[in-house]
Amino acid sequence: MIKYILYVEEDFPSLRNLQGGFTLIQRFEGKFAVGIKQTLKHLNNGEGDRVYIALNADKDLVGPVVKLAQEKSVEIVYVESKKELGRLCGIDVGAATAITL
């Protein structure tokens, strides 16, 4: 399943919004991994329930992540930019992908 939304309320139960179930967040909560290599590693190990991909990431680089996530029936959520995904992960640089564990 692929979603083209930025944030999903069910990912962040401590942040509730009464307007349609979507919430803007400051940072991911819980366990997650950042980067293409780490995302692929966790997908191959059958770990992770949702993959986040930056819309401005190089399609050739994130293509294997998208393919493997679809094969493993892991939900894909697209985020506006690498910079935004990096910020959500709490790092000072951009990130092409991340996975919640």
The 10s digit of each residue's pLDDT in 72-93 is: 999 888 888 899 899 888 888 9
Stretch 25-44: mean pLDDT:
86
Neighbours of 6 (CB within 10 A): 17
61 vs 13, 16, 27, CA distance in Å?
31, 34, 24
Confidence of residue 10 (pLDDT cuts 50, 70, 90): very low
For residue 59, the model assigns a pLDDT of: 94
Side chain identity at 23, as an amino acid letter?
T
Q: Dihedrals φ, ψ of 84, to 5°?
A: -65, -40
Contacts of 65 (CB under 8 A, 6+ apart): 36, 39, 40, 43, 51, 53, 97
Residue with tokens 């997908």: 43
Average the pLDDT over 34-56 and give the result. Answer: 94
Average pLDDT over residues 33-51: 95
Rounded CA-CA distance 22/44 in Å is: 30
Task: Return the higher-pLDDT residue of 1 and 95.
Answer: 95
pTM: 0.76
What is the identity of the amino acid at 25? I
